[in-house]
A and B are shown apart, each in its own frame.
Chain A
């Protein structure tokens, strides 16, 4: 039962440092903190292990691991990456992902800014209701909307230059719109909280100068919203890049799939080369990992903005 043991293990070993937790002051404090650090370091290593294991095996030759088992050392190669790149057509699917993610994120942020601006600047009675409609939309299970969305997209005819399928189904435009509709709620909520906190005096002189609403929006509000926009952009890029469900059901031809849905190409019908899957996983994870390490602060503040109203 080694599977089931993973979680209890973590929980059990967790008990020790808790009891050895530093009581206030005294020499016990120092050793307690040391114990805590050791415990947290151990947990961290447990958490990093699956990723490290995937990375390690992505560099190993399948023939070697098949012969010596996975609990061995050696057989290092770069071939898995070359093979995975070719078989899952990553060069192509990464571009697909970009074609979906970039417009979707820009549109989400733009529309969210609009909603948030109106809600924050002009206090309507209905604005809470409106934000509720948006935020709730963000939380609904997408599967429960699948049939009508699917049918609607199939029924909407668009010109051929727009989508070669002739309908919104199997088109990037459709997928982008669904993603935007789902993500706008969260972003408008975060942005409106931020905008409400901006001092109203900022707008006063603009109003006296006769600046239009649009000018106030572009020249006063948006420049001040750079911090939450950076955080949300980081977060949304990760989320939409990772989005799996809508891409799987709304895009039907394999050549349109984004990277997240294309990993299945590496799994054979009867036989799967796990080292190849590992290499593919690392390739897919790489963009999000790069974003994560470069923009960690943005990522974290984006995630926590919504929950704690930073």
Chain B
């Protein structure tokens, strides 16, 4: 796919029934995605400037400017912790789980005996849903029936105590995330031209130098993809904490705040939308980075 063929026929050359078929093939999926993803995204932004309570008709809603946003930042106690928790989540994924995954990929790439087994065990958690991961770790964390307390005799409720539960969730989440990153990175490593390493070795570079000076820079695109995947997954973290306690009591995340403001009894649509919009804004920065990398690669 080195050069994109320039001799493609444009749509102008397609006539009659074919033209209708082509337009339909494009139109149906586009309408679906625009209607169920982009329109709602804009809807969230729009609603965030209103005071709609979600009960009366939407025409009753008034535009109240940025009041929802000032409320979020000033008089909504869970917001500060949620931002902090999302940030801690990101830091742990970024500085521990992701590098660990990359490191393990590099080790597995050395092809020592049994590497197939190591690879499989590491990414086995990736096929499990994060909700299920929460339940599986409950057997380790539970206060009365958990493994940790069974071994140490402590009586800490790892999922319940707000001093520990974020970290407990992070360990469980890292368990899955590491395998995922390992897999992505391993695929990248396998794609590195072996002659590069050979050349570095001939030049007398140590293995460590070869990795950091030759392999790592060549993997720049996948490094960035791994980074963006990490950021977006951290921002989207939801299932795991939702099954633990619906994101309360030390486990507040932006995603759970949005959800509980909408599906809870006191549905506050405008306010929830402001939270949703904040989330959209943060993620769109990283999505933009991701798209730039992916499509720049693509047009090469």
Which residues of A line the B interface, CB within 8 A?
Answer: 2-4, 6-7, 10-11, 14, 17, 21-24, 33, 36-37, 39-41, 43-45, 47-48, 50-51, 53-54, 57, 65-66, 69-71, 111-112, 114-115, 117-118, 121-124, 128, 130-137, 139-152, 177-178, 180-182, 184-185, 188-189, 193, 196-197, 200, 212-214, 217, 238, 241-245, 248-249, 260-261, 263-264, 272, 274, 277-278, 280-281, 284-285, 288-289, 291-292, 296, 299-300, 303-304, 307-310
Contact = CB atoms under 8 A, between A and B. Distances in A.
Contacts of A33: 110, 112
B140 A260 contact: no
Contacts of A280: 135
Given A122-B10, A150-B262, A111 B29 contact: yes
Contacts of B34: 133
12 contacts: A118-B25, A123-B5, A141-B235, A141-B279, A145-B43, A148-B44, A200-B5, A212-B17, A245-B242, A274-B139, A277-B135, A281-B135
B207 A137 contact: no
B37 interface: yes
A97 B151 CA distance: 37
A189 B174 CA distance: 27
8 interchain residue pairs of minimum CB distance: A148-B43, A242-B129, A304-B187, A148-B40, A44-B121, A181-B36, A114-B25, A123-B8
Contact of B238 (A23, A128, A143): A143
A303 B181 CA distance: 10
Given A196-B1, A249-B263, A17 B43 contact: no
A117 B8 CA distance: 12
Contact of A36 (B5, B8, B110): B110
Given A47-B175, A70-B150, A148-B44, 14 more contacts: A7-B171, A10-B100, A24-B207, A122-B10, A134-B29, A135-B290, A143-B259, A147-B43, A193-B298, A200-B7, A245-B242, A263-B135, A272-B138, A292-B124
B21 A51 contact: no
Contacts of A261: 131
A212 B11 CA distance: 14
B185 to A, nearest CB: 9
A65 B123 CA distance: 30
A149 B40 contact: yes
B201 A40 contact: no
A303 B183 contact: yes
Interface residues of B, number: 127
B295 A36 contact: no
B118 interface: yes
B225 interface: yes
A274 B201 CA distance: 54
Contacts of B14: 122, 213
Contacts of B180: 303
A287 B41 CA distance: 33
Interface in B162-187: 164, 167-168, 171, 174-175, 179-180, 183-184, 187
Contact of B167 (A3, A37, A47, A292): A3
A84 to B, nearest CB: 12
- Describe A's contact surface by its main secondary structure: helix
A278 B134 CA distance: 11
A3 B168 contact: yes
Interface string B266-300: 00010011001101100110110011001101110
Contact of A139 (B243, B290, B295): B290
B232 interface: yes
B145 A65 contact: yes
Given A36-B107, A48-B124, A2 B183 contact: no
A52 B273 CA distance: 42
B167 A4 contact: yes
B147 interface: yes
Contacts of B140: 50, 53
Nearest to A122: B11
Contacts of A134: 29, 33
Given A3-B158, A21-B207, A131 B279 contact: no
A151 B40 CA distance: 10
Contacts of A3: 141, 148, 158, 164, 167-168, 171
A294 B41 CA distance: 38
A265 to B, nearest CB: 12
A213 B18 contact: yes
Contact of A121 (B8, B113, B286): B8
A307 B225 contact: yes
B236 to A, nearest CB: 5
Contacts of A180: 32
Interface in B1-22: 1, 4-5, 7-11, 14, 17-18, 21-22
A137 B120 CA distance: 30
